[in-house]
Amino acid sequence: MSRKGQEGIGMGTLLALIVGAIAVAMIILYFTGSLKYIFGTQKILPGDLEKVAQSCQFSASQGLATSYCNEFKELKVGTEIQYFNCDELIKLGAVVASASEMEKCDGVSLNNAAKAFCVGKVSTTKVNNKACSEWSAISA
């Protein structure tokens, strides 16, 4: 008794299944962030400070006071994550002030922005080199 049409899995089908399984595994690893542990971080793209510096220069050149003064950017300082606005980064010398630097940020609105940013954060989270607990103690 011969069975025509039932020859088993072909080599092409088997290869397609293996490649598909590897692709699905790589996609899962990519979205879970596990690939950076396998391949390490690539140094091709600019670092965090460079990205923040360009963002600050753009905000200053376009007159975007809200982004310049009230938007806090995440930076890794040593092993600690901290948050800074452009005005503070220029004061610290971490970002070079461009010729079109914004007017200095208003202290009251900066304090209010820092307080608002700290809402829901751990009290030890640092914003412009102060812990959130220090910002909440400052009166408007």
Residue 85 half-sphere exposure toward CB, CA atoms < 13 A: 24
> 38-68: per-residue pLDDT in tens?
666 555 445 777 888 888 888 888 888 888 8
Measured distance CA(109)–CA(126) in Å, rounded: 18
> 79-130: per-residue pLDDT in tens?
888 888 888 888 887 777 664 466 667 777 778 888 888 888 888 888 888 8
Hey, what's the torsion of the CAs at 129, 132, 133, 138, to 10 degrees? 80
Q: Say what the pLDDT of residue 99 is.
A: 45
Indicate whether 21 pLDDT > 90: yes
| pTM exceeds 0.75 | no
What strands, in cross-sheet order, belong to the sheet with 80-84? 73-77, 80-84, 126-127, 130-131
